[in-house]
Amino acid sequence: MHSVYRNTAQVAHSAEYAGENDSLPKARLGQRTLDRIGNTPLLRLDRVASDLPGVEILGKAEWLNPGGSVKDRAAANIVAQAQASGKLTSGKILLDSTSGNTGIAYAMLGAAQGFPVTLCMPENVSVERKRILQAYGANIIYTDPADGSDGAIRVARELAAKHPDLYYYADQYSNDANWQAHYHGTANEIWEQTEGRVTHFVSMLGTSGTFMGATRRLKELNPRIRCVSLQPDSAFHGIEGTKHMASAIVPKIYDPSLADADLAISTEDAYAMAKRMAREEGLLVGISAAAAIVGCLQLARQLKKNEPAVFVTILCDSGDKYLSERFWQEG
């Protein structure tokens, strides 16, 4: 009781002192939206790996970025570099194709910094993503769902070519600022959070920026880290935000030689893992995040019995953007 009164008195004294010294500069309170991007926690997934003694599976909780996904990192770096180079100037509209999350990140940044955003996006993305983009005030051009993310890329390229003075075409699939965000940020966070104990890095491929950047840096820190890329097992899949490289427009920033291995993940396995994560770990993760966990478990089961390993993967976003999907009610 005494300490409470003493602290209250100290606060009152501090307030009185501050009032007498209004001319002194005061530290700015709070944080900007940009300041909250990155430094996401690393979560331990105990129950889904309970049958694998010696194996630790850790996931970067990227939905805790202000825009709700890992794509905040790349989008923020793309925007920062475009502004610094004079490519994104006052009066220009940021244009890009997206399956949702990068678009949400652009829209959030545009709203916070005062630049307009136009996005080309397949019409069949989840209704939640559409509503979030509308809430941020982005202009959305819907493309044919049958053409997938490649169709959105083609429309964005056509617009950029027709109106070069109107748009800054961010082109996340070809922009080095994408993978550099993970080289300088994500990988170093993983290294520090695991105290250098990470043995495997596993990530789904979309633009490939997360895998390319993090792998380059982790291999510099320890060449023995096994870096494994994951992609859908079919051109026709339900893992939003990811690419089946053999049937898609391959991102310019993608270098398959960086991967120690590449695994194919089925949509059905990803859906099942999303439900397991919610019901066994208490974590509502997105479909690509669930697919990444499937990949980690597949790799872990290939290890020798009781072989110690520390797997780190990227939990790209949360499941709240996919709650309208029917698989939650099935099975």
Beta-bridge partners for 231: 264
Contacts of 38 (CB under 8 A, 6+ apart): 65, 72, 73, 185, 186, 189
Q: Is-catalytic flag, 162?
A: no
Residue tagged active-site, from 69, 99, 208, 288: 288
- Please give the order of strands across the beta sheet that includes 139-143: 139-143, 117-122, 93-97, 167-169
Residue tagged active-site, from 60, 69, 71, 229: 71
Contacts of 63 (CB under 8 A, 6+ apart): 69, 285, 286, 315, 316, 317, 318
Contacts of 248 (CB under 8 A, 6+ apart): 148, 149, 150, 235
Report the distance separating Cα 73 and Cα 65, nearest Å: 8
Q: Burial of 26 by CB count in 10 Å (0-12 exposed, 13-18 middle, 19+ buried)?
A: exposed
Q: Burial of 117 by CB count in 10 Å (0-12 exposed, 13-18 middle, 19+ buried)?
A: buried
3-state secondary structure of 97: strand
Report the distance separating Cα 211 and Cα 135, nearest Å: 30
Q: Is-catalytic flag, 266?
A: no
Look at strands 117-122 and 93-97 and give their pairing.
parallel
Place of tokens 């690419």: 243
List the catalytic residues.
71, 288
